[in-house]
Chain A
Amino acid sequence: MIKHLKRIYMGLVILFLYLPIIVLVVSSFNNSKILGKWDGFTLDWYKELFNNASIMNALKTTLILALMASVIATALGTLASLTINKMKRSTRSVVMSITNIPMLNAEIVTALAFMLLFVGLGISLNFATVLIAHVTFCIPYALLNIYPKVRQMDNNMYEAALDLGASSAQAFFKVTLPEIMPGIMSGFLMSFTMSLDDFIITHFTRGSGIDTLSTKIYTEVRKGIKPEMYALSTLLFVTVFVLLLLINRTPNEEKRRKKLAKGKKSHATLAMGMCIVLIISAVGYISFRDDSNYIGDVYVYNWGEYIDPEVIALFEEETGYKVHYEEFETNEEMYTIIANGARNYDVICPSDYMIEKMIDTDLLAPLDYNAIPNIKNIGSEYMESATGFDPGNRYSVPYCWGTVGICYNTTMIDEEVNSWSILFDEKYSGSILMQASVRDAYCVALSYLGYSINTLDEMQLKEATNLLISQKPLVQAYVIDQVRDKMIKNTAALSVIYSGEAIYMQEENPDLEYVVPDEGSNVWIDGWVIPKNSENKEAALAWINFMCDPNIALMNFNEITYSTPNIAARDLIEDEYIRNSQIAFPGESVLSRCEVYNYLGKDGDALYDGYWTKVGTAASE
């Protein structure tokens, strides 16, 4: 009876540990892109995985990084274990405590410490910085496995080898090393695993163009992770599972122990060897695919899912530049990276007020319009409104534009939606999704209260803050791009969203409707800019020009459904309904009640940020 209870208990814990893994494995065979919504069996994601250059590159970076970090950490850890053992007790305990700091300290503090070190020394983040960080946090795990083996070792064996005429190098390689090898092996494996699974430290220390699987997934979480990622994870998981099975395939009998110990070692070595061969061949396979008409690199920093991936491939094909494409989630996050010189990019796509801020803080290079002949395709009215944040259009070229409004599910809401007030209606408690970015959240509250969305009046801001705090118990979640999947899945009834998402959402779920409330809202323009410290401005200009090509702009529009300022592209839209859509291309009646965000100055930003934190930590019940 008790035995059964024990089994059941263990079974439950294991089920708990493996439940999400089962969900992910199942999702890799799911026809639907949305996690948790089954739509038939498919193997497509496995096929597409190998054609997805960005995932393959992230895999390559992850594997190289983990391999290098764990080899260096294991080597340093071995050296440290051997020498620490011979130190005086007091010195030893000091060295050990320092070593353990990265393991015991909060990951976010360690990550921040590294970032401050590199930024403080004026080193822009690159592969070396993230490697150094990984080595450092892997060392304690390596040491943890190696040091006890060194302590267990009988020093007389080494001495005996020396007495018998071995040189100290021979004695080390023939006696010491084999003795501590199991520790080194498990230290290496542990380091490799930790490096592979790390997110936070990589997130803070990686350079531009360096995406690991973790950082890639984190940016993808917003818009729904691409199912190829589940396929890749399943493959990785199964590979490791098989390797570990190989290592662990050991007979049970006690009397065969000795034989087993020997056999196990060869199994472990075999598995380790296979592991390394697999990694190298994977890396080799990925690198081999790199194309040949390469003439340089261009580092692009854009919003999440804000381009047709085909366009990147076409650009590479046509120009010969290798594109390193990365995504950000909020303007503010992007600004921190650029302003601190943490990572360098050649071309970025911020929003209006952020472009103004970047001009103001002298981060941008003026554009050479001779290199952007396609600018003629951009409608003059959009160039005109862009002068509001970029006087004389010197620094930016409009890419997409739109409004902020309410998306609602007509099956769940039976009244007419035309006011922000519905977002504060207790009737819809638990069914409201709010935007998690400062400016958009305040846009809702300030517009509803009848104030300007650029106000710096403390009284008005306080009122808006109190309104947002009182709304908090009604809100299901504060999200950014996840609004999309949640609304499609009928998880919520009401949400604040950008017009560009609404068209896509309607295609997926016809019950959804989009409206710009009567009180007014925000109209925004995102534009391409080139940072001052770009190392390849020529490539950046080529990129911008390529984006202004009508056919390319059309491809992007069809993929991301955000309104294009490209008049020539709009004329090419086949679907008449979309071409005349009031959501994608609202008329003057809507635009006249919308306001553009302005840069509020450093103090203004801090003011909004301070109030927003108050909303964030207010009680949600």
Chain B
Amino acid sequence: MNKAQKRNALLSGPYIFWIVLFIIIPLLFVFYYGFTDGNGHFTMDNILSIAKPEYYKALVLSLVLAVISTLICLLIAYPLALILRNTKISKKNFIIFVFILPMWMNFLLRTYAWQAILDINGVLDSFLAMFGLPSANIINTPAAIVLGMVYDFLPFMVLPIHNVLVKIDDNTINAARDLGANYFQTLRKVIIPLSYAGISSGIIMVFVPSLTTFVISDILGGGKLLLIGNIVENKVKADNLNLGAGLSLILMIFIVINMVVSMKMDSGIEEDAMLPTDKSSKVGGK
């Protein structure tokens, strides 16, 4: 090891220390609690309890709703990102402006506002009644939870897709058109394959929080629909940390599967897929 390498190792020390202490070790604690009972004896019961119908059903419901909301997010976000790519206002700041700004209004409040909108005799119902339409009646249903998920996580789908789309060279697209491809062929054969990295990070960023939320189902589901996140939260609240940890481990399996699948889709997520492209600094830099 030469001097520069040594210095680098020394400088990276604090960071390595931090991530080991606060990322690796806490996860080891989850494993420890997940595989032990209240008295610290080894057990598989916590993990195997997922086979009980009540937990199994919650997991299936969570998976179904998470897949649906991820797909809806993708269907809304992709055309939007395409439109933004071709408009003059697709400056990075505008995008950040529109999609990051809502985050400054607390997300609990925003979700709660949806409750007020969708509630029986709520804002939406009054609006519909003005046109003589019947009530929407979607509060406390899976549809309301999906709406909440799409609402909360849509920006996490739009931003990564937008970031890869603006990086695609116009010449590549023009070349495809020149060679006789129509718009949809270009889209299918050129643009979409080139944006896999953005799509896959978007899918991860939406699927994971949708699968594991307990707040959205709490506020918009009326406590009638328990997701796996609610079960984990309830177990922790009911002082059953071991079962909570065991179910968390099950959740981690699904998250890892999702990540592997998404990465297969694009061999390796681009590290800066979430990053807003900054053309101006490139102009100055090189």
Contacts from A to B (Cβ < 8 Å): 6, 9-10, 13-14, 16-21, 23-24, 27, 35-36, 76, 79-80, 82-84, 86-87, 95-96, 98-99, 101-102, 104-110, 112-117, 119-120, 132-133, 135-136, 139, 144-145, 147-149, 152-154, 179, 182, 186, 193, 196-197, 199-200, 204, 213-214, 217-218, 221, 225, 229-230, 233, 236-237, 240-241, 244, 247-248, 250, 252, 257-258, 260-261, 264, 330, 332-333, 335-336, 339-340, 436, 472, 475-479, 486, 489-492, 605-606, 609, 613-614, 616-618, 620
Contacts and interface: CB of A to CB of B under 8 A. Distances in A.
Given A106-B255, A250-B93, A214 B108 contact: yes
Contacts of B115: 35
Given A479-B222, A613-B54, A241 B212 contact: no
A67 B101 CA distance: 18
A616 B226 contact: yes
A106 to B, nearest CB: 4
B27 A76 contact: no
Given A79-B11, A95-B19, A616-B223, 8 more contacts: A80-B15, A98-B24, A109-B248, A112-B232, A136-B18, A144-B271, A236-B105, A617-B226
A244 B224 contact: no
A193 B113 contact: no
A333 B121 contact: no
18 contacts: A13-B76, A20-B114, A23-B116, A23-B117, A76-B14, A79-B15, A95-B19, A108-B251, A109-B251, A119-B241, A135-B18, A197-B103, A199-B108, A221-B108, A248-B93, A258-B283, A479-B222, A491-B121
B226 to A, nearest CB: 4
B99 A17 contact: yes
Main secondary structure of the interface of B (DSSP, over half): helix
A6 B155 CA distance: 18
A293 to B, nearest CB: 34
Contact of A108 (B58, B229, B241): B229
Nearest to A478: B223
A27 B29 CA distance: 44
Interface string B215-230: 1000100111110011
A147 B285 CA distance: 15
A35 B109 CA distance: 11
B123 A23 contact: yes
Interface string B120-160: 11110000000000000000100000000001001100000
A50 B196 CA distance: 49
Interface string B170-187: 000000000000000000
A104 to B, nearest CB: 6
Q: Which 7 A-B pairs have the closest CB atoms?
A: A477-B222, A478-B223, A20-B113, A36-B116, A106-B212, A113-B26, A83-B12
B106 A233 contact: yes
B44 interface: no
A107 B212 contact: yes
A108 B100 CA distance: 22
B110 A106 contact: no
B110 to A, nearest CB: 5
A187 B226 CA distance: 36
A9 B272 contact: no
Contact of A199 (B15, B215, B276): B215
B251 A9 contact: no
Contacts of A24: 105, 109-110, 113
Given A182-B278, A609-B238, A221 B27 contact: no
B80 A10 contact: yes
A99 B100 contact: no
Contacts of A330: 237
Given A23-B113, A114-B26, A197-B106, A83 B11 contact: yes
Interface residue SS majority, chain A: helix
Contacts of A476: 120, 140, 222
A106 B252 contact: yes
A217 B30 contact: no
B57 A617 contact: yes
Interface residues of B, number: 114
A113 B116 CA distance: 34
A263 to B, nearest CB: 10
A617 B54 contact: yes
B280 to A, nearest CB: 4
Contacts of B281: 149, 182, 261
A112 B285 CA distance: 43
A208 to B, nearest CB: 17
Contacts of B224: 472, 475, 477-478, 620
Given A616-B226, A620-B224, A152 B282 contact: yes
B285 to A, nearest CB: 6
B265 interface: no
Contacts of B88: 252
Contacts of B238: 332, 336, 605, 609
A76 B15 contact: yes
Interface in B238-265: 238-241, 244-245, 248, 251-252, 255, 259
Interface in B188-232: 204, 208-209, 211-212, 214-215, 219, 222-226, 229-232
Nearest to A10: B83
A339 B239 contact: yes
B30 A113 contact: yes
Nearest to A229: B109
A197 B155 CA distance: 14
Given A182-B278, A336-B239, A136 B23 contact: yes
A113 B255 contact: no
A404 to B, nearest CB: 17
A607 B126 CA distance: 44
B275 A145 contact: yes
A289 to B, nearest CB: 23
Contacts of A79: 11-12, 14-15
A479 B223 contact: yes
A117 B12 contact: no
B80 A96 contact: no
Given A35-B113, A197-B107, A436 B101 contact: no
Contact of A16 (B104, B151, B232): B151
A233 B105 contact: yes
Contacts of A23: 113, 116-117, 123
Nearest to A475: B224
Nearest to B229: A108
Contacts of A117: 22, 25-26, 29
Contacts of A229: 109
Contact of B215 (A19, A200, A491, A614): A200
B230 to A, nearest CB: 8
Contacts of B20: 98
Contacts of B24: 98
Contact of A109 (B112, B212, B226): B212
* Among A21, A132, A154, A179: residue with most chain B CB under 10 A: A21
A148 B113 contact: no
A249 B9 CA distance: 42
B208 A104 contact: yes
Contact of B211 (A101, A106, A115, A490): A106
Contact of A101 (B12, B23, B79, B272): B23
A80 B276 CA distance: 20
B13 to A, nearest CB: 9
A244 B101 contact: yes
Contacts of A14: 98
